[in-house]
A and B are shown apart, each in its own frame.
Chain A
Amino acid sequence: MTDRIQLLAIVGALALLLIVLELVRRRRFLERYALVWLACGVVLLALAVWRGALGFVADLLGIAYAPNALFFIAVGFVLVLLLHFSLAVSRLTDQSKLLAQRLALLEERVRRQERTSSDDDAEQPVFERAGSP
């Protein structure tokens, strides 16, 4: 591996790690989503620094030019991350569907109670009674 590509790989991995850590520090990034990114950065950095390990992995995968193994692993991480995001999006979609449905049903219930209580000229505000079982 030439020194130039190794330097590039090290700088890239370091930058990735630092950006992720900084985003977590600023609370822009939930830890559970940051973990996969951090693992990705640590592994890439380790392989970029430690040539022997990268050579070993390249041999194992049957890749003649060791730096290609680095890209191969990086692409693997990207795929895992994308899968992770698709899962997260699916979960959020389902959660927001559930919330929308419950909200709509509650809203209908409250509006109907408001209508009947205004008919009865009730004194209590509706929201206090809506919570009681």
Chain B
Amino acid sequence: MSSQRHLALVPAFNEGRNVASVIRDIHAQLPEFDVVVVDDGSTDDTVQQAESAGARVVRLPFNLGIGGAVQTGFRYALEHGYDYMVQIDGDGQHDPAEVRRLMRTMERRPEMDMVCGSRFLRGSTDAPLYPAPISRRTGIHLFAFLLRRIVGPKISDPTSGFRLYNRRAIELFARDYPHDYPEVEAVLMLHHNRLDMCETRVRMFERGGGQSSISAGKSLYYMIKVLLALGVGLARRRPVIESGEPPAVAAERAL
């Protein structure tokens, strides 16, 4: 494994209070990982904090939302030839030590293209269950239920962003990644492109600060939007385009 290159992607939007400690934690726990922070147009000192903590920083000129920020990370990983990329949120919710668990799962099952850290799988460890508010948990379980109908019985936590990707998944998502609330749709995209994924149990912290990409008031909008995306994703014959075909994004298509 020594010749392979690993990237830790930290998407951050106004996480000046947490991002430095997250980066230092990654450096301490995961010395073989390069750290890149994608700053999603923050208006606080996120960039300075990240740079002084020793991370590479990709600065988006304006706020793209979590999907656009994470896709920037996939493009970075693709351009710089990384074999594995793990996403660790900038708010301190994901514990870098738990990446080892994702890595072990990937090593044990090399046919997997994505290993997703789940808060809801029950395992042998005595880690506490993630204390999400009941409204959000309901949504998560609804998505999990729907996804299980579509992609099979391996999904318990479809909104977790704590994910390890291999090269094939990086290539797929660098080309096309959902816009607003990407995690659920990304599972569906993997399935449609015949890539495989599995989950492994992880411990997560409560958010250290900053703003969640899903505030309480937006929960309903979030659910409806993701349900629409799931339905439309099912209706697409091939959601992602093979190389040589017209791109999937609206951007490249003439009206």
User: A residues near B, CB below 8 A?
Assistant: 32, 84, 87-88, 90-91, 93-95, 97-98, 100-101, 103-105, 107-108, 112
Q: In whole angstroms, how far apart are the Cα atoms of A105 and B64 in the complex? A: 14
- List residues of chain B with CB within 8 A of the CB of A87: 250, 255
- List residues of chain A with CB within 8 A of the CB of B58: 104-105, 107-108
A98 near B72 with CB under 8 A, answer no
Q: Contacts A100-B68, A105-B75, A105-B79: A94 and B251 contacting too (C-beta < 8 A)?
A: yes
- List residues of chain A with CB within 8 A of the CB of B136: none
Q: Contacts A88-B255, A95-B251: A101 and B68 contacting too (C-beta < 8 A)?
A: yes
Does B141 belong to the interface (CB within 8 Å)? no
A100 near B64 with CB under 8 A, answer yes
- List residues of chain B with CB within 8 A of the CB of A84: 255
* Contact-residue bracket for chain B: 20 to 34
User: B residues near A, CB below 8 A?
Assistant: 38, 56-62, 64, 68, 71-72, 75-76, 79, 179, 249-251, 253, 255
Q: In whole angstroms, how far apart are the Cα atoms of A94 and B67 in the complex? A: 12
Q: Which of B57, B61, B71, B255 contacts A108 (CB 8 A)?
A: B57
Q: What residue in chain A is nearest B57 (Cβ atoms)? A: A108
Q: Contacts A100-B62, A100-B64: A105 and B249 contacting too (C-beta < 8 A)?
A: no
Q: In whole angstroms, how far apart are the Cα atoms of A108 and B80 in the complex? A: 12
B255 near A91 with CB under 8 A, answer yes
Q: What residue in chain A is nearest B255 (Cβ atoms)? A: A87
Q: Interface residues of A: mostly helix, strand, loop or mixed?
A: helix
- List residues of chain A with CB within 8 A of the CB of B250: 87, 90-91, 93-94
Q: Contacts A91-B250, A95-B251, A101-B72: A107 and B59 contacting too (C-beta < 8 A)?
A: yes
- List residues of chain A with CB within 8 A of the CB of B255: 32, 84, 87-88, 91
A108 near B68 with CB under 8 A, answer no
Q: What residue in chain B is nearest A92 (Cβ atoms)? A: B251
Residue from the set A84, A100, A103 with the largest chain B CB neighbour count within 10 Å: A100
- A/B interface sample: 12 pairs, CB < 8 A: A87-B250, A90-B250, A91-B253, A91-B255, A95-B251, A101-B68, A101-B75, A105-B72, A107-B58, A108-B59, A108-B76, A112-B56
Q: In whole angstroms, how far apart are the Cα atoms of A108 and B253 in the complex? A: 28
- List residues of chain B with CB within 8 A of the CB of A93: 250
- List residues of chain B with CB within 8 A of the CB of A94: 249-251
B61 near A103 with CB under 8 A, answer yes
Q: Contacts A105-B72, A105-B76: A91 and B251 contacting too (C-beta < 8 A)?
A: yes
- List residues of chain A with CB within 8 A of the CB of B68: 97, 100-101
| B7 CB, nearest partner CB in chain A, Å | 13
Q: In whole angstroms, how far apart are the Cα atoms of A93 and B179 in the complex? A: 10
Q: 6 tightest A-B contacts by CB?
A: A94-B251, A95-B251, A108-B58, A90-B250, A101-B72, A94-B250
Q: In whole angstroms, how far apart are the Cα atoms of A91 and B248 in the complex? A: 11
Q: In whole angstroms, how far apart are the Cα atoms of A84 and B255 in the complex? A: 8
B251 near A98 with CB under 8 A, answer yes
B59 near A104 with CB under 8 A, answer yes
A101 near B60 with CB under 8 A, answer yes
Q: In whole angstroms, how far apart are the Cα atoms of A112 and B58 in the complex? A: 11
Given A90-B250, A94-B250, A107-B59, 12 more A-B residue pairs with CB atoms under 8 Å apart are A84-B255, A91-B250, A94-B251, A97-B64, A97-B68, A98-B249, A100-B64, A100-B68, A101-B68, A101-B72, A104-B59, A105-B79
